[in-house]
Amino acid sequence: MYVLFFIHLRTRRVVLGGLSASPDDAWMRQAARNVTGAIGQLETARYLIRDRASKFTAGFDPIMTVAGIKPVKLPP
């Protein structure tokens, strides 16, 4: 199982993005919409610091950007 979660560094609050046995592009995009949408839990986030895992598909970052969250990839 894969667990997608977000940690807000200032408050140390953990937001569960979802669980999946096989996360694909559609699942990752839906998870991004869920945490940034109208009832999203990342409303105060400005940056998303993430690794370069292949699970973060090409459709994930644009959804975060539209929500006003700048994705920052860690160096390899």
Q: Which two tokens stand for residue 41?
A: 């839990």
pLDDT for 4 beyond 90: yes
Number of domains in the chain: 1
Residues 46-63: tens digit of each pLDDT: 999 999 998 899 999 999
Range of the domain at 15: 2-73
Q: Which two tokens stand for residue 71?
A: 């994705």
pLDDT value at position 39? 72
Q: What is the share, in percent, of the chain residues with pLDDT greater than 70?
A: 99
Predicted model pTM: 0.85
pLDDT value at position 11? 87
Residues 6 or more apart whose Cβ sits within 8 Å of residue 34: 17, 18, 40
